[in-house]
Amino acid sequence: MKIWPAHFFAAVATSFILTGCNQSSTPGAGGTIKVGEFASLTGKDATFGISSHEGTLMAIEEINADGGVLGKKLELLTEDTQCKAGESATVVNKLISRDNVIAILGEVASSRSLEAAPICQQNKVPMISPSSTNPDVTKTGDYIFRVCFIDPFQGTVMANFASGTLKAKRVAVFTDVKSDYSKGLAKFFKERFKANGGEIVVELDYNGGDKDFKAQLTSIKAANPDGVFVPGYYTEAALICVQAKQLGLNVPLLGGDGWEASTLVEIGGDAVNGNYFSTHYHQSVGTPISKKFNENYAKRWNGKTPDTMAACGYDSALVLADAIKRAGTTDGPKLRDAIAATKTFPAVTGTITINENRDASKSAVILKVEAGKFKYLETIQP
């Protein structure tokens, strides 16, 4: 199943050539510092993986243009996880044991980060996930970090938004049972929404990759909710919005950062308008560093507007480079301590402080889909 397009793509996209003969784990002066990245460049969440990769690669290129770290250039080795279970473990093993990378960046999806985390922990190679929000990811061990907030925060934010801003009393929850991310968000949403005095009228599930949701949506409609929480990924979320409209289920649908992709609007069309989701970043947040990031990203990637995943990918590389500088070495334990000591680091997605659980503590934004655009609604502090 390992096929050439994935290798080809990874090789072309990163434009790096492996020297292949560098067996030593401590390259001499003039060598590079190897950083591993695993991302879903093909498969159903490829939009996220590619965005994240573009952000990460751009950060590495900018750091190198500024002279690199510790007098050496960073070299990003990217592997494709193909959105497949099992693939992340394989590629991360390869990055660590064959390529001797000093740190691992990745992945977007929590399920795949959870696969790679134990391997990084065992080998004492620090791992920074750009945007996996499931709490269990960093619980794997003290070498695992992330530069995003976690599901409890996002689920809680959306529950408060539903009962506060939307004044919803009865909400249905529609979860992707194949995804740890979706289940995590759903759990914390339900807890907070009930604590706010709301009622979860019905809970239904789907499997990521499904296309037909009419069966579940028909049941949801019969329960007559004020809103539906759909903490899934964009492909399914778009189809769910379309099919909900078709069935005459005209209540707002709420989601998490898994919704944020232009594909949501492309596939969902008019049906996604009027729905809300929480995320890490929006380009109209307007901090100076984010403005610079938006400009550079458009320049580097043919006028593309950066999405959250690109911003998080970018931040993951910045936080790592900053830690290497502070540690003064690429030695695993010392680098780990330096990442853990990250405090009020000015990143694109907000000011990042790594807390005692190795999660980033920073703000969330709520966006509304209006006329096919993601409109910034409010920022919620941790």
Give the interface with another protein as residue ranges (CB under 8 A). 1, 3, 5, 8-9, 41-44, 46-47, 50, 177, 202-207, 209, 211-212, 214-216, 218-219, 221-222, 235, 238-239, 242, 246-248, 263, 266-267, 269
Name the residue nearer to another protein (CB basis): 63 or 267.
267
Q: Which is nearer to another protein, 143 or 277 (CB)?
A: 277
- Length of the chain equals 382
Alpha helices (runs of H) in 250-287, residue ranges in sequence order: 262-268
Percent of the chain that is helix, strand, coil (3-state, to 5)? 45, 20, 35
Nearest approach in angstroms of CB 204 to another protein is 5
* Torsion angles phi and psi, residue 142, rounded to 5: -80, 5
Q: Can you tell me the distance from the alpha carbon of 189 to that of 182, in angstroms, rounded to the nearest whole number?
A: 11
C-beta closer to another protein: residue 126 or 225: 225
Least distance CB 327 / another protein (angstroms)? 37
Instruction: Calculate the alpha carbon distances from 177 to 127, 181, 210, 236, 359 in Å.
Output: 26, 9, 11, 12, 24
* Closest CB to another protein among residues 85, 341: 85
| Residue 161: count of CB within 10 angstroms of its CB | 21
Contact 197, 190 (CB under 8 A): no
Nearest distance from C-beta of residue 171 to another protein, angstroms: 14
CB of 79 to another protein, least distance (A): 15
Q: Which of 248, 142, 181, 147 is nearest to 45 (CA)?
A: 181
Using the minimum distance from each CB to another protein, give the nearer residue, 219 or 329. Answer: 219
Backbone φ/ψ region at 170: left (φ over 0), alpha (ψ -120 to 50), beta: beta
Q: CA of 362: how far to CAs of 281, 290, 319, 346, 365, in Å?
A: 11, 15, 14, 11, 10
CA 9 to CA 126: how far, in whole Å? 26
User: How many CA atoms, within 13 angstroms, populate the side-chain half-sphere of residue 197?
Assistant: 4
* CB atoms closer than 10 angstroms to residue 302: 6
Q: Quick one: 220 or 335, whose CB is closer to another protein?
A: 220
As measured in angstroms, the least distance from the Cβ of 122 to another protein is 31
Q: Under 8 Å CB-to-CB from 343, ≥6 apart: which residues? A: 353, 354
239 vs 324, which CB is nearer to another protein? 239
Dihedrals φ, ψ of 102, to 5°?
-90, -20
Shortest separation between residue 323's beta carbon and another protein, angstroms: 32
Smallest gap from residue 67 Cβ to another protein (A): 33
Closer residue to another protein, CB minimum distance, 72 or 178 = 178
Closest CB to another protein among residues 240, 335:
240
